[in-house]
Amino acid sequence: MCFLRRPGAPASWIWWRMLRQVLRRGLQSFCHRLGLCVSRHPVFFLTVPAVLTITFGLSALNRFQPEGDLERLVAPSHSLAKIERSLASSLFPLDQSKSQLYSDLHTPGRYGRVILLSPPGDNILLQAEGILQTHRAVLEMKDGRNSFIGHQLGGVVEVPNSKDQRVKSARAIQITYYLQTYGSATQDLIGEKWENEFCKLMRKLQEEHQDLQLYSLASFSLWRDFHKISILARSKVLVSLVLILTTATLSSSMKDCLRSKPFLGLLGVLTVCISIITAAGIFFITDGKYNSTLLGIPFFAMGHGTKGVFELLSGWRRTKENLPFKDRIADAYSDVMVTYTMTSSLYFITFGMGASPFTNIEAVKVFCQNMCVSILLNYFYIFSFFGSCLVFAGQLEQNRYHSIFCCKIPSAEYLDRKPVWFQTVMSDGHQQTSHHETNPYQHHFIQHFLREHYNEWITNIYVKPFVVILYLIYASFSFMGCLQISDGANIINLLASDSPSISYAMVQQKYFSNYSPVIGFYVYEPLEYWNSSVQEDLRRLCSGFTAVSWVEQYYQFLKVSNISANNKSDFISVLQSSFLKKPEFQHFRNDIIFSKAGDENNIIASRLYLVARTSRDKQKEVIEVLEKLRPLSLSKSIRFIVFNPSFVFMDHYSLSVTVPVLIAGFGVLLVLILTFFLVIHPLGNFWLILSVTSIELGVLGLMTLWNVDMDCISILCLIYTLNFAIDHCAPLLYTFVLATEHTRTQCIKSSLQEHGTAILQNVTSFLIGLVPLLFVPSNLTFTLFKCLLLTGGCTLLHCFVILPVFLTFFPPSKKHHKKKKRAKRKEREEIECIEIQENPDHVTTV
């Protein structure tokens, strides 16, 4: 091996170039030896993966267990709201509030809710008999004797010019039935049975009361409708698998019955499938619990695994036919597995970072952990199981066996005596010209289309301006979408779209969105409530809210009764002996915590209730209220917390879901920068960074314009987009920067001819496999379909339209390759002239 120094090049540049070439050739040598090892022991590499799949696959069936805690999955794991909930529950336990409307300030445990909706134009208040019948039927249920209720009117119309806001009519009423379980497992089981009976009762009452519409919800409804997605998607996933198998089989076929590899396309997809089954078995053996977000793993793993399958097939087609099949396998591994190893490593790094403690969403963490295992097994199964299949197929080809029927291909003389249909089925298609062609595989229909038609069209000088305009439009829409990103903290985005929970949520949003949920305002330190400045601070904090406050009621009571309570002893004495003993104020006893030190009583904590006026976008405004109130608890003299159970899902959700993408993107960028001067060519990494950034921002912006929120599913898809883009752009770019043709146009044509077939095969199979997801009635699968469709579409656009045009404009330059070839040609001509002068008798005039 020798390294020629370019004139004027610094010594450091030479050393970096030498290091890159040593590393590249070392990796190629390792992959070549791996290919030889697989080709010499195909039975071993075929048997080991099969045994692993059988072992772990059976264990997956025995240990399958669904995840039952939805909050643990989708709510931020580390949030201030969970700390606030613990503090609120310790100060004011749920069993002390069982007779109050505001019991939903805590995590309510077991409950049942029903919305009774009157027909359009009717007044729900005039249908009291139907409401009372429903109410009595619920209270008469078994094990429902410990329930307590809360109610709320919706779609309220007030009496015009009414000073005390009298209700004229209402369209809906919501009734909530809470069950006391006290944390007992037996009581919780009874409560679960009660909830099931409650839902059945609501369906029965709906049939009896045709003049009312009943929408029910129980505490387990969200989990049930979340898990229902997996049941609905089973058949669709199988249809996706069939479509991918069909596409892979057809795209791997040729008219040439000798060189066609339909079974290899089919076996390649099955290889990825059994690797996914093995990963699932390992996941369940390690006490993993299934949840519906894991539905995306088969599609993610398939997109990466089939890329390796099609690249190995392309690598096999690029090898020389006159070599033994073992050497051809080794050459294909040397050509393909270096890049595939790099992209698999980046998959593992990005999803490994998503599984790190920095990720605050448990569903994202569990998905990334499972994906890391799937990627490792995918890589192992591709080079072992599929590699063994490729060995057997290569042996059949070398011995001239039919690629489908596995029988000897007859000679040309024998075929000439047979019918046309027999010649079509049994002819290798190259009987006359195969020995004179450099590469018979160029007759593959995708490669033929790219070489003869597409490459000339996309590099045409008249097409390039339109491609530039197309990219500007693409970038504009992407940028516009990135400015409109919205977080998806609403949990109904993860449920089956035709589920009762969705129907309930839509009705609740329509008729009960005028006010926010009841927000608990907890003062957790002793406070001088009798002090006028403290009273003013409390009024200022509660301004803008509809407050239900014992403090305001007590001040009003003192004013009406003309009682002075300007010091601590008078204030607490009147509060305990007079105010809290009146029937209309007795319910405030549960909102004040007294302590006694000797003969002196103190108020150590208390709570108020706040309700904010909201518009239709209720959730966004509640988040804004939370973000405004929390800083005030630190800046004001009053130490307080605010809490509602919905805050657990909303608290810093947008930050929690974006962190995994930022970490994964930073990891990819860091790896590419660190290998900038080590892997193949620095300009290859530079172009790869630009391409991946363009694809990632394009998917992010376009999915926002397509009404996709930033929830845990879209975040996982964005992490996958980083890797999918690298998986397809890296081979194309590295082949381009290493090409030695005279011009950039010839280099990009060579790159497309070498890798375009595998890219088109994989992306086409990937996109066709997504189609059945459209028929799963679920917001989760809709999000998965939209994001993965944009991922495949943007990657295909860059690989076949944007990069082939832009690489002809910008570096790397190919002039030095042209100069080297001219120098070699001139040197060869001088040698020929010398030989002619020395041997003039050998020159023959033609």
As a three-state string, the secondary structure of 243-291 is: HHHHHHHHHCCCCCCCCCCHHHHHHHHHHHHHHHHHHHHHHHHCCCCEC
284/398 same-domain check: yes
The Cα–Cα gap between 336 and 207 comes to 64
Residue 74: CB atoms within 10 Å: 27
Q: How far is CA 434 from CA 40, 161, 255, 403, in A?
A: 28, 95, 14, 17
Its domain, for residue 615, covers: 515-651
Residue 576: pLDDT band (50, 70, 90) is confident
44/137 same-domain check: no
Closest CA to 233 of 844, 746, 782, 706: 782
- Facing residues of 545 across strands? 612
Closest CA to 302 of 761, 769, 730: 769
Q: How far is CA 116 from CA 102, 111, 188, 402, in A?
A: 20, 17, 27, 70
Query: What's the half-sphere exposure (Cβ side, CA atoms, 13 Å) at 684?
Result: 21
Measured in residues, the chain has a length of: 846
The Cα–Cα gap between 702 and 98 comes to 48
Q: Is the pLDDT reported for residue 1 higher than 50?
A: no
Contact assessment for residue 131 and residue 116, using Cβ atoms and an 8 Å cutoff? yes
Q: Is the pLDDT reported for residue 336 higher than 70?
A: yes
DSSP single-letter state for residue 159 = P
Token pair 């790896």 is at which residue?
Answer: 671
Residue 372: pLDDT band (50, 70, 90) is very high
> Is 214 in a helix, a strand, or coil?
strand
Q: 220 in a domain, yes or no?
A: yes
The Cα–Cα gap between 724 and 730 comes to 10
pLDDT at residue number 675: 62
CA 458 vs. chain centroid, Å, equals 33
- Helix or strand holding residue 182 (H, E): none
> Is 531 in a helix, a strand, or coil?
coil
pLDDT at residue number 632: 77
> Is 488 in a helix, a strand, or coil?
coil
The Cα–Cα gap between 731 and 756 comes to 10
DSSP single-letter state for residue 485 = -
Residue 623, both tokens: 């988040």
CATH of residue 421's domain is 1.20.1640
Measured CA angle at 399 (ends 396, 402), to 5 deg? 55
Residues 718-764: pLDDT tens digits? 989 989 999 999 888 888 888 877 788 888 898 898 899 999 999 99
The Cα–Cα gap between 110 and 218 comes to 7
126/48 same-domain check: no
- The reported pTM is 0.85
137/54 same-domain check: no
pLDDT at residue number 714: 87
Question: Which is it for the CA torsion 408, 413, 418, 419, positive or negative?
Answer: positive
Q: Give 647: exposed, middle or buried? Use CB within 10 Å, 0-12, 13-18, 19+.
A: buried
Q: How far is CA 156 from CA 513, 516, 546, in A?
A: 11, 15, 17
> Is 114 in a helix, a strand, or coil?
strand
The Cα–Cα gap between 71 and 222 comes to 10
The Cα–Cα gap between 414 and 429 comes to 15
Average pLDDT over residues 702-723: 89
Backbone angles phi, psi at 523, to 5 degrees: -95, 110
The Cα–Cα gap between 220 and 188 comes to 12
Residues 379-394: pLDDT tens digits? 999 999 999 999 998 8
Residues 181-238: pLDDT tens digits? 656 677 778 778 888 888 888 888 888 888 888 998 888 888 888 888 888 899 999 9
- Helix or strand holding residue 168 (H, E): strand 167-169
> Which of the listed residues 618, 651, 684 is the one where a domain comes to its end?
651
Q: 645 in a domain, yes or no?
A: yes
Q: How far is CA 138 from CA 116, 180, 337, in A?
A: 14, 15, 65
Query: What's the half-sphere exposure (Cβ side, CA atoms, 13 Å) at 160?
Result: 0
Residue 116, both tokens: 């009774």
278/360 same-domain check: yes
Q: 503 in a domain, yes or no?
A: no
> Is 513 in a helix, a strand, or coil?
coil
More confident residue, 790 or 445: 790
> Which of the listed residues 651, 677, 694 is the one where a domain comes to its end?
651
Average pLDDT over residues 825-830: 51
Radius of gyration of the chain measured on its C-alpha atoms: 35
Q: Give 440: exposed, middle or buried? Use CB within 10 Å, 0-12, 13-18, 19+.
A: buried
220/261 same-domain check: no
Q: What is the mean pLDDT of the chain?
A: 81
DSSP single-letter state for residue 4 = P
261/182 same-domain check: no
Average pLDDT over residues 780-809: 93
> Is 124 in a helix, a strand, or coil?
helix
218/333 same-domain check: no
Q: Is the pLDDT reported for residue 437 higher than 60?
A: no
The Cα–Cα gap between 730 and 798 comes to 12
Average pLDDT over residues 652-668: 67
Could you tell me whether strands 545-548 and 213-218 are parallel, antiparallel, or unpaired per DSSP bridges?
unpaired
Q: How far is CA 166 from CA 170, 191, 510, 547, in A?
A: 11, 38, 21, 18
Q: 727 in a domain, yes or no?
A: no
CATH of residue 170's domain is 3.30.70
Closest CA to 430 of 422, 439, 417: 439
The Cα–Cα gap between 141 and 201 comes to 9
Residue 396: CB atoms within 10 Å: 17
Q: Give 626: exposed, middle or buried? Use CB within 10 Å, 0-12, 13-18, 19+.
A: buried
Contact assessment for residue 202 and residue 221, using Cβ atoms and an 8 Å cutoff? no
Q: 844 in a domain, yes or no?
A: no
Query: What's the half-sphere exposure (Cβ side, CA atoms, 13 Å) at 441?
Result: 18
Residues 449-458: pLDDT tens digits? 998 899 999 9
339/384 same-domain check: yes
Q: 610 in a domain, yes or no?
A: yes
Residue 812: pLDDT band (50, 70, 90) is low
Residues 122-177: pLDDT tens digits? 888 888 888 888 888 887 776 544 555 556 777 777 777 766 667 778 888 888 88
Q: 343 in a domain, yes or no?
A: yes
Residues 6+ apart with CB under 8 A from 684: 730, 733, 734, 736, 737, 738
268/331 same-domain check: yes
Q: Residues 86-116, buried b or exposed e (16+ Cβ, 10 A)? A: eebeebbebeebeeebbbbbbebbbbbbbbb
Residue 190, both tokens: 């009874």
Q: 488 in a domain, yes or no?
A: no
Q: How far is CA 208 from CA 203, 212, 263, in A?
A: 9, 9, 59
285/343 same-domain check: yes
Q: Render 764-783 in DSSP notation, one character per residue.
A: HHHHHHHGGGGGS-BHHHHH
pLDDT at residue number 381: 96
Residues 491-508: pLDDT tens digits? 777 888 888 888 888 888
The Cα–Cα gap between 556 and 562 comes to 10
The Cα–Cα gap between 387 and 333 comes to 9
Overall domain count for the chain: 3
Q: Where are the beta strands (DSSP E) in 549-599?
A: 592-597
Q: Is the pLDDT reported for residue 517 higher than 60?
A: yes
> Which of the listed residues 615, 633, 651 is the one where a domain comes to its end?
651
Q: Give 582: exposed, middle or buried? Use CB within 10 Å, 0-12, 13-18, 19+.
A: exposed
Query: What's the half-sphere exposure (Cβ side, CA atoms, 13 Å) at 206?
Result: 14
CA 265 vs. chain centroid, Å, equals 27
> Is 657 in a helix, a strand, or coil?
helix
Residue 190: CB atoms within 10 Å: 18
422/525 same-domain check: no
The Cα–Cα gap between 555 and 270 comes to 75
Residues 531-556: pLDDT tens digits? 888 888 888 888 878 788 888 888 88
